[in-house]
Amino acid sequence: MEEARRIQALPPYLFARIDEKIAEAKAKGVDVISLGIGDPDLPTPEHIIDKLVKAARNPVNHRYPSYVGMLEFRQAVAEWYKRRSNIMLDPKKEVVSLIGSKEGIAHIAFCYLNPGDIALIPDPGYPVYGVGISLAGGVPYAMPLKEENGFLPELDRIPEEIAHKAKLMFLNYPNNPTGAIADESFYSKVVAFAKKYDIIVCHDGPYSEIAFKGYKPLSFLEVPGAKDVGIEFHSMSKTYNMTGWRIGWAAGNARVIEALGRIKSNIDTGIFQAIQEAAIEGLLGNQDIIGENRKIYLERQDIVIEGLTELGWTVERPKATIYVWPKVPKGFTSASFCELVLDKTGVVLTPGNSYGESGEGYFRISLTTNTERLREALQRLQDNFGKFEF
């Protein structure tokens, strides 16, 4: 029963490893506070749940759904983009539904990469970019994200021979794990770079609605020429607290959307229509949840940054996302620091090198834990370590 080489080379998924560590600690009787996984603890809005319940009782929805997604759902996505950013999309040709954006991110590589083909990925970055590329037989090429450059890739430092061979480029702003943001000037450079080297841009934008103090992140699709070179992945997960529902979309360049829809039609049978109807309600219905989420996450961000400051950190406040990205103290690696904190305090942090080599020296805190537990986590750090040196 020998596994295929592609599976043998595949590491355990980052958060599966974190779940194992949490389970091990709990088995020892530790009261674990997990600041690791970015899974919103806030409830899905009631009007979305009500719509699901009603739709689930309709026998029509119990049959196979459309492979590319209900037209009504794709129309709702197009309307959401128009309302938010004045982006015009053809719901029939420029939107495809996804079983959560993660599966689309993984599958896009199968649409365009032949064995040995190169795809550009951010480092640090969401692990699925590289995993999807590798499973498709491609070769990930890391674009380092450095603090001194605002955690933006330096496109002019990508070797010419790599740029000419690259077929895909993955980007993600507001960024996981760094919390960094990108402006129109950067995206314009990306469009020009993609056109010059014939690269498809895959922008991952799930945190666009979690932004603070009046900051409004750009959609990549807002930038002139963006639809000529790429697509944007998005989902209901973070915006509407629907991570477990598994529904998202890709939107943008019609040829790329068609290719993604074609591969999906051969390997899955779409999303339960009742969930699609609930998502339509989310996209087109009452949007109070967005403001409520921002208020809650900002309060949590305040607690974390103030607590870290008291412990000796100097942390830049992210303008968006549900993450904080501090440096590890003097004398530690990312892994050794997070392991020590878990052993001493029962607090789970995510080591930065889990997101790539350039994540070494950092760790990620997720704000998906209530204020009481956040304060307790910081107090445990204070009680066990006092102030750290940097």
pLDDT digits (tens, 9 = 90+) for 189-200: 999 999 999 999
Q: How far apart are CA 87 and CA 94, in angstroms?
A: 12
Name the H helices within the chain. Answer: 5-8, 14-27, 46-56, 71-85, 101-112, 127-135, 160-165, 184-197, 226-229, 254-267, 273-284, 288-310, 334-345, 371-385
Percentage of the chain lying above the pLDDT 90 cut:
90
pLDDT digits (tens, 9 = 90+) for 348-377: 999 999 999 999 999 999 999 999 999 999
Q: For position 93, what pLDDT does the model report? A: 98
Domain boundaries, the chain: 5-42+289-384, 46-284
Helix (H, G, I), strand (E, B) or coil at 96: strand
Q: How far apart are CA 195 and CA 105, in angstroms?
A: 21
CB atoms within 10 A of CB 123: 20
Helix (H, G, I), strand (E, B) or coil at 93: coil
pLDDT digits (tens, 9 = 90+) for 171-193: 999 999 999 999 999 999 999 99
Q: Any bridge partners for residue 168, and if so which?
A: 119, 200
Helix (H, G, I), strand (E, B) or coil at 121: strand
For 20, counting Cβ atoms within 10 Å of its Cβ (0-12 exposed, 13-18 middle, 19+ buried), the class is: exposed
What's the whole-number mean pLDDT along residues 95-109? 97
Mean pLDDT of the chain: 96
pLDDT digits (tens, 9 = 90+) for 268-290: 989 999 999 999 999 999 999 99
- CATH 3.40.640.10 correct for 46-284: yes
CATH topology of domain 5-42+289-384: Aspartate Aminotransferase, domain 1 (3.90.1150)
- What is the pTM (predicted TM-score) of this model? 0.95
Does residue 180 contact residue 145 with C-beta atoms inside 8 Å? yes
What's the whole-number mean pLDDT along residues 326-343? 95
pLDDT digits (tens, 9 = 90+) for 4-48: 988 887 877 666 777 787 888 888 899 999 999 899 999 999 999
Residue 222: partners with Cβ closer than 8 Å, 6 or more residues away: 85, 86, 87, 184
